[in-house]
């Protein structure tokens, strides 16, 4: 009997037991953003540690940080074979607005083969799948095909403020050959995808200040700088009419897309017409020379997220606003550094600042981009495991968003990162009625189990980035 046949038999036999256990995990309201749930965070960490012990993992510890603890465990008896470090998180988002939930967020319910609960998809359900895959392999084979370590944190939903320090303090403990994260999504229903890159982030707030107070537009208009006009002039200087960013040096370190990547993206046959209809727009807009998927996955951006200043109430108020501001974020691609981009933004703003105003710049969120090479053995192995179970080709994609802690893993531990998720974009993560499609729970268990066998075929040297 092949290992996939053994896994099928085991998971079919244990399905109801596993779902009941997952429901226990989901009943714990481990909301890291709300201090009143501090005890619930501890309960969730203890539940994880206990579950790890039951399935046969070893060296289990609940490691304290300045915030919520990290749960660690390992199984290290595959001598000479690669080690996989599995990362995930046990904290969840707040549940507001509660009145929009069709069932209680911490009372898991199955409807239409979907499991509804906060954390079902993000990320308790996907973390739990790795535990059950380990359980299945130990129960059917008596051992694992590779070495495994777990690093499950409790602060991902608040930006992982203490995890980088934990990684730096525990580099030996967390030493591995690859990192596997199941906290992302598939391309669509029945369409598996391996994400091998994420964009980074750099955010700033621009505040333009003119006169010491708002001025009467009749008495001063035409003779004193208007803060909003000055702000608009600065904002307009950021991009040309085709969307190309005009900040000096912005593209200097951008790594061009490989031909095979562009071919892979094109093979997805992304329907831009359907997207326009879905969004209710008559045209898409973006940097010339790139398709929509290339623009949103592999090219950097500069976007104005909000503008404030002046009078916006009912009627009209004839003033020259003394202050105005805007919030700006840039999505960054591999080899762009957030600090360097903020410095270039600052220099650009100073260069294009009109006379008669001062400008103050405040830095906000920053996160580095990440990429594991498209053809890396661990990436391709993940694709093969998906294909064996889903029986369709795997899409190799980049994510347009940012998960700063992924870049921290890449930078601090220096390991290839494999993002093999099983969620869907329609599953309402961070929103009311979050749910997880159970067909992906079922198939994902088998994918993960097979992936451990796939990685066992490589040497440690094969997997070096």
**pLDDT tens readout for residues 83-106:** 999 999 999 999 999 999 999 999
pTM of this structure: 0.87
Q: Are 196 and 360 in contact (CB under 8 A)?
A: no
Give the confidence band of 407 by pLDDT, cuts at 50, 70, 90: confident
**pLDDT tens per residue, range 345-386:** 999 999 999 999 999 999 988 888 989 998 999 999 999 999
Q: Are 229 and 323 in contact (CB under 8 A)?
A: no
Residues 6+ apart with CB under 8 A from 198: 369, 370, 371, 398, 399, 401, 402, 403, 406, 407, 419
Q: Are 320 and 212 in contact (CB under 8 A)?
A: no
Of 61, 60, 69, the residue nearest 38 (C-alpha): 69
* C-alpha pair distances (Å), 13 with each of 6, 7, 9, 128: 11, 10, 6, 17
Q: Are 322 and 226 in contact (CB under 8 A)?
A: no
For the chain, give the percent of residues with pLDDT over 70.
Answer: 100
Q: Are 424 and 186 in contact (CB under 8 A)?
A: yes
**CA dihedral for 197, 416, 366, 183, sign (positive or negative):** positive
What pLDDT is stored for residue 408 in this prediction?
A: 87
Average pLDDT over residues 249-272: 94
β-strands 319-320, 215-216: how paired? antiparallel
**pLDDT tens per residue, range 14-58:** 999 999 999 999 999 999 999 999 999 999 999 999 999 999 999
**pLDDT tens per residue, range 409-432:** 988 999 999 999 999 989 999 999
Measured CA to CA, the distance from residue 53 to residue 61 in angstroms comes to 10
Phi/psi at 149 (nearest 5 deg)? -130, 150
> Residue 283 pLDDT more than 90?
yes
For the chain, give the percent of residues with pLDDT over 90.
Answer: 93
> Residue 1 pLDDT more than 70?
no
Q: Are 182 and 123 in contact (CB under 8 A)?
A: yes
Measured CA to CA, the distance from residue 428 to residue 257 in angstroms comes to 31
* C-alpha pair distances (Å), 455 with each of 147, 373, 381: 10, 16, 7
Average pLDDT over residues 106-110: 98
Of 256, 266, 72, the residue nearest 172 (C-alpha): 72
What pLDDT is stored for residue 410 in this prediction?
A: 86
The DSSP output letter for 35 is G
**pLDDT tens per residue, range 218-253:** 999 999 999 999 999 999 999 999 999 999 999 999
Measured CA to CA, the distance from residue 303 to residue 329 in angstroms comes to 6
> Residue 319 pLDDT more than 90?
yes
> Residue 344 pLDDT more than 90?
yes
Average pLDDT over the chain, rounded to an integer: 95
Phi/psi at 246 (nearest 5 deg)? -100, 5
**CA dihedral for 312, 318, 323, 325, sign (positive or negative):** positive
Beta bridge partners of 152: 71, 88
> Residue 404 pLDDT more than 80?
no
Of 153, 174, 171, 181, the residue nearest 76 (C-alpha): 174
Average pLDDT over residues 434-439: 98
The DSSP output letter for 145 is S
Residue 362's CB is within 10 A of a number of other CB atoms, namely 11
> Residue 443 pLDDT more than 90?
yes
Q: Are 333 and 254 in contact (CB under 8 A)?
A: yes
What pLDDT is stored for residue 384 in this prediction?
A: 98
Phi/psi at 14 (nearest 5 deg)? -100, 5
What pLDDT is stored for residue 172 in this prediction?
A: 97
Average pLDDT over residues 289-303: 96
* C-alpha pair distances (Å), 323 with each of 136, 217, 226, 303: 62, 14, 8, 21
Q: Nearest-5° angle of CA 317, CA 322, CA 328?
A: 105
The DSSP output letter for 237 is T
> Residue 276 pLDDT more than 80?
yes
The DSSP output letter for 11 is H
Average pLDDT over residues 194-210: 95
Average pLDDT over residues 139-167: 96
What pLDDT is stored for residue 367 in this prediction?
A: 86
């Amino acid at each position: 009997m092949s290992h996939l046949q053994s896994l099928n038999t085991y998971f079919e036999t244990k399905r109801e037991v596993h779902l009941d256990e997952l429901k226990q995990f989901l009943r714990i309201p481990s909301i890291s953003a709300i201090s009143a749930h501090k005890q619930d965070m501890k309960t969730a960490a203890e539940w994880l540690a206990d579950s790890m012990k039951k399935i046969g993992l070893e060296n289990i510890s609940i490691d304290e940080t300045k915030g919520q603890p990290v749960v660690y465990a390992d199984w290290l008896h595959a001598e000479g074979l690669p080690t996989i470090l599995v990362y995930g998180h046990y904290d969840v988002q707040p549940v507001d607005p509660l009145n929009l939930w069709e069932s209680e967020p911490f009372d898991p319910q199955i409807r239409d083969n979907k499991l509804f609960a906060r954390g079902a998809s993000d990320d308790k359900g996907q973390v739990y799948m790795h535990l059950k895959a380990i359980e299945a392999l130990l129960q059917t084979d008596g051992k694992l095909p590779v070495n495994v370590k777990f690093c499950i944190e409790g602060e991902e939903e608040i930006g992982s403020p203490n995890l980088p320090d934990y990684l730096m303090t525990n580099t030996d403990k967390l030493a591995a050959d690859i990192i596997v994260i199941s906290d992302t999504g598939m391309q669509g229903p029945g369409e598996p995808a391996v994400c091998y890159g994420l964009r980074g982030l750099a955010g700033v707030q621009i505040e333009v200040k003119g006169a010491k107070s708002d001025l009467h537009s009749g008495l001063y208009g035409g003779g004193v700088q208007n803060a909003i006009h000055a702000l608009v002039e600065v904002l307009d200087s950021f991009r040309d009419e085709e969307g190309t960013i005009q900040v000096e040096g912005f593209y200097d370190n951008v790594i061009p897309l490989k031909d095979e990547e562009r071919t892979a993206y094109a093979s997805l046959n992304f329907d831009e017409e359907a997207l326009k209809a879905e969004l209710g727009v008559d045209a898409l807009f973006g940097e010339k020379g790139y398709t929509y998927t290339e623009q949103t996955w592999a090219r950097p951006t500069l976007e104005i997220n909000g503008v404030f200043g002046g009078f916006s109430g009912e009627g009209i108020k004839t003033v020259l606003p003394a202050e105005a501001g805007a919030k700006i974020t840039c999505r960054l691609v591999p080899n762009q550094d957030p600090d360097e981009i903020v410095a270039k933004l600052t220099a650009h703003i100073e260069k294009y600042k009109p006379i008669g105003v001062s400008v103050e710049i405040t830095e906000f969120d920053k996160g580095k981009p990440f990429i594991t090479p498209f053809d890396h053995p661990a990436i391709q192995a993940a694709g093969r495991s998906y294909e064996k179970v889903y029986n369709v080709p795997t899409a190799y994609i980049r994510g347009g968003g940012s998960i700063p802690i992924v870049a921290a893993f890449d930078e601090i531990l220096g390991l290839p990162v494999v993002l093999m998720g099983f969620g869907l974009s329609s599953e309402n993560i961070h929103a009311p009625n979050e749910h997880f499609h159970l067909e992906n729970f079922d198939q994902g268990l088998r994918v993960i189990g097979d992936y451990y066998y796939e990685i066992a075929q490589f040497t440690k040297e094969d997997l070096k980035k």
